Amino acid sequence: MDTEGKVIRCRAAVAWKAGEALIVEEVEVAPPKAHEVRVKIAASGVCHTDWAYLHGAGRGMEMRPFPLVLGHEGAGVVESVGAGVTRFSPGDKVIPLFLPQCGECECCLSAKTNLCKANWSKTQQGVLADGTSRITCRGQQVFQFLGVSSFSEYTVALETNLTKIHPDALLQRVCLLGCGVATGYGAAINVAKVESGSVCVVFGLGAVGLAAVMGCVSAGAGRVIGVDVNTDKFAKAREFGVTECVNPRDHSRPVQEVLVEMTGGGADYTLECVGDVEIMRSALESCRSAWGVCVIVGWTELEEMRLRPFHLLMGRTLKGTYFGGWKSVRDVPRLVEEHLAGRLKLEEFVTHTLTLDQVNHAFQLHAGGQSIRSIITM
Ligand SMILES: NC(=O)c1ccc[n+]([C@@H]2O[C@H](COP(=O)([O-])OP(=O)(O)OC[C@H]3O[C@@H](n4cnc5c(N)ncnc54)[C@H](O)[C@@H]3O)[C@@H](O)[C@H]2O)c1
Ligand SMILES: [Zn+2]
Ligand SMILES: [Zn+2]
């Protein structure tokens, strides 16, 4: 491509300060260094985690460095590659990954986890392997959220944080496999390991929760109870296969008591897809003693969860998951193929398609509970 080796001037939504609206600016995206790839982003989903890092920084979330380009649920096409890159070529369709898979660290070599540690602390701090980001704006370095920054027309990712996908994939849909849909789906099938005929409860019916419902249904769950305080979420949840809906606000007693009664002693599997420590406790207490499994998917970094060890002593298991247990580079292309084969929904998660200029509107729709996923198209 004629941009190879040159700085690209393009548009990106810059978060200058925590808690403030994003500003669409002209930015410069430097060419990829060794073992990096520059990607032309086609589309990006808007995940709760983007919103939470902007508005919850220093509260539930660790403070991230600003200015920052958010977005971690993107898909695009390789524009150029840095020295030493062999797995990618210009024109390849790719999904950037906030969770790498280097294939070499002790976690990558273990079948027990997907938590690759390659450059982990650096990408969490918004920089690539050499300690700098590739994006600048008005002469200032702009940090790259989780090493991705998909709210930009172009970005640069480490080759370990990128995966090549099937050329038939529609980028405006498969971007959702970069975070929310992969996470919820994997939480049910890889982490909870939902069994056929079982009773499941999913707390929070946003994209992550609906994807968890999809995982429960594909594993053959007998009942899937959906819990949300926003009753507007129930119609879509039923389309995804939720068999019963519960609004905690309809009840004067704790929702776990309602659910234990509904399930005759508790669910086999519960999945928390909200990110609220009180609901995490409800999720644990809603699964049955002896073998119930509770999986925490919702995100919080600084808050503490209260629990009674008695609930664990009585045989319940409490687990958490990052990215649904998927080994990212290996498994995301497989999920794309499952979607292309018609076995994994994506279209159904998309409620709004917006432009980069409308990114703050996408956040408002999200915070107001009006969207499941907004897709920003570049
Ligand atoms: N573990 C991971 O790797 C990972 C990856 C992606 C997202 N997440 C986290 O998953 C969570 C869900 O993400 P999302 O994008 O689907 O968010 P979302 O905001 O779209 O969905 C959350 C849902 O929870 C509901 N809710 C709020 N309060 C509730 C309550 N008290 N009881 C029941 N339901 C309630 C909301 O109405 C909403 O429908 C977030 O915390 C996000 O940060 C985790
Ligand atoms: Zn690794
Ligand atoms: Zn996310």
**What is the pTM assigned to this prediction?**
0.97
d(CA 106, CA 126): 23
**What does the block give as tokens for 140?**
């200032």
Query: Domain ranges in the chain?
Result: 8-178+346-377, 184-322
Instruction: Say which residues have a Cβ less than 8 Å from residue 173's Cβ, sequence separation at least 6.
Output: 339, 346, 347, 350, 375
Ligand nearest to the Cα of 227, by number: 1
pLDDT digits (tens, 9 = 90+) for 105-125: 999 999 999 999 999 999 999
pLDDT digits (tens, 9 = 90+) for 188-221: 999 999 999 999 999 999 999 999 999 999 999 9
**CATH architecture entry for 184-322:** 3-Layer(aba) Sandwich (3.40)
Closest residue by Cα to residue 271 from 240, 296, 238: 296
> C-alpha 57: how far from its chain's center?
18
Name the residue of 48, 177, 250, 305 whose CB sits within 8 Å of the most ligand 1 atoms, as the mutation to test its pocket.
48
User: Percent of the chain scored above 90 by pLDDT?
Assistant: 96
d(CA 219, CA 238): 17
Q: What is the mean pLDDT of residues 289-318?
A: 96
- Write out the CATH class of domain 8-178+346-377: alpha beta
Assess whether the C-beta atom of 18 lies below 6 angstroms from ligand 1: no
Q: What is the mean pLDDT of the chain?
A: 97
**Minimum-distance ligand 1 atom for the alpha carbon of 371:** 20
Q: Rounded to the nearest whole angstrom, what is the distance from the C-alpha of residue 109 to the centroid of ligand 1?
A: 31
Assess whether the C-beta atom of 97 lies below 6 angstroms from ligand 1: no
**What does the block give as tokens for 175?**
């971007």
